[in-house]
Homo-oligomer: A and B are copies of this chain.
Amino acid sequence: MTRWLLVASPMLLLIAPPGLAQEPPPMSEASETCLMCHEVLHPGIVSGWKSSRHAQVTPAMAMAVEDLGRKVSSEDVPQELTGVVVGCAECHTLRPGEHAGTFEHNDAQVHIVVSPQDCAVCHTVEAAQYSQNIMAHAHGNLENNAVYQDLQHHVLGAPTRIDGELSFEPPSADTKALGCLYCHGTSLAVTGVETRDTDLGEMEFPVIDGWPNHGVGRVNLDGSLGSCSPCHARHAFSLETARKPYTCKQCHVGPDVPVYKVYSASKHGNIFHTKQHEWNFDAVPWVIGRDFTAPTCAACHVSLVVDADGELVAQRTHQMNNRISWRIFGLVYSHAHPKDPDTTKIRNKDGLPLPTAFDGTPAADFLIGPEEQAKRRAEMEAICLKCHGTSWVKGHFTRYDKSHQTTNAATLTATGTLQEIWDLGAAEGPSAGGSPFDEAIEREWTDIWLLYSNSIRFASAMAGGGDYAVFADGYYTHAKRVAELQEWLEERRSSGERSESK
């Protein structure tokens, strides 16, 4: 009998989380009104919500939880919200005056796009942290940076030929929404009102430019930045979903940021994939060795993690870079993390809005210093050390730091080759008024730092390297691209000589 209970208990936990009453807590009348129609219209949304904690717990119940298990961080949730579950109306009619596009809908003042500032009513600490997360600023950091705009223009733009010459027309808003802004976030704007013929007769709805979108840096209709949906998906707000690496994969899958691919090929990823069926992804705090036996992305970067004795290993953070000393993603070199999540303020020594100069010099005034880097490294190591010995951890990070040096040195070499190509006039670089991203040979150079150096560094960080770091968008093609750049230069030199010797 005991054995049977042992097996059954995780299930029972799912059914009746500790602290939940047998009788479901009350729902507001407003939300009940919503469900009358929407349960029929959008059963997928409603069933997702019903499976969520929001449907099963009131803020008052959540605020009664003490210490590390507490999920509601606000101390002052408005009285009218505390006694009912968090239903449709609680979020979609919250702060109606703050949202452009709030519309009257069956006597309720509804807004379609719930924003982090809405969530902040109960989750104030997390929303404040996320506002300091560089991801919350992903829209502006891309759209308000002339260099990145130039790259985006030549990646997403419409290739056009006039008189046999190729140029790129600016990408349309739709293409940008499908491309970079899908992850970076669109900027939402109400552009009008439309009338739709619904099952309940004609109704009016706002027309929202930039919708749908759940990019991490979405600019919302209340002016707030970001979205909680990328990780806390849809209406189930499942911790399990947020803690599994498939969530991060949505935006971290290509060779520029091959996070999921590298993780999957790592020892950590191997253990996750083989053993996740035995883990508990819903426990708060999250207990190392009991709830999980290898980290997912969340364990190292976000979650509140404790050891089996309940001792704190790492605080929950929605800023997410508190444990990260380097920014792996090279622009064009990897570098210490930016101080401010708004990276448009950065100027390198050449006056460009880039965290490093083309010769590798970091824009040091705008980046965290060695002391902060060491502090963040120590916070990360505290997690590693719960499963690895000191020499293991030190050895890992020594190599990881070296991978930044060597990939950046290779980028410097490649940049030297490109500079010579520009000097030779074989391509038109910035000093001649050209874009560094519009010609094919320049894109060979871009590949080196944007795809292959990044892949190597991510593999080094998470997997410790290996076949991924070498053959899957790593060293192998990295070196090939460097050699191709050189070959191209030499061929143009020869052509030039052939022409001159005519």
Contact = CB atoms under 8 A, between A and B. Distances in A.
Contacts of A240: 274-275
Nearest to A497: B499
A252 B468 CA distance: 8
Contacts of A456: 178
Interface string A31-49: 0000000001111111110
Interface residues of A, number: 142
B159 A414 contact: yes
A257 to B, nearest CB: 7
Contacts of A387: 42-45, 48, 234
Contact of A464 (B156, B178, B416): B178
Contact of A470 (B155, B399, B480, B501): B155
B484 A440 contact: yes
A106 interface: no
A327 interface: no
A293 to B, nearest CB: 6
Given A174-B402, A175-B402, 7 more contacts: A159-B483, A205-B390, A214-B267, A249-B265, A252-B467, A254-B471, A443-B483
Interface of A: 3-4, 6-7, 11-12, 14-16, 40-48, 51, 112, 154-161, 164, 166, 168, 172, 174-175, 177-180, 182-183, 196, 205, 207-208, 211-212, 214, 233-234, 236, 238, 240-241, 244, 246-247, 249-257, 264-267, 269-271, 273-275, 277, 288-290, 293, 307-309, 385-392, 395-396, 398-399, 402-403, 406, 409-410, 413-414, 416-417, 420, 438-441, 443, 447, 451, 456, 459-460, 463-472, 474-476, 479-480, 482-484, 486-487, 489, 494-495, 498-499, 501-502
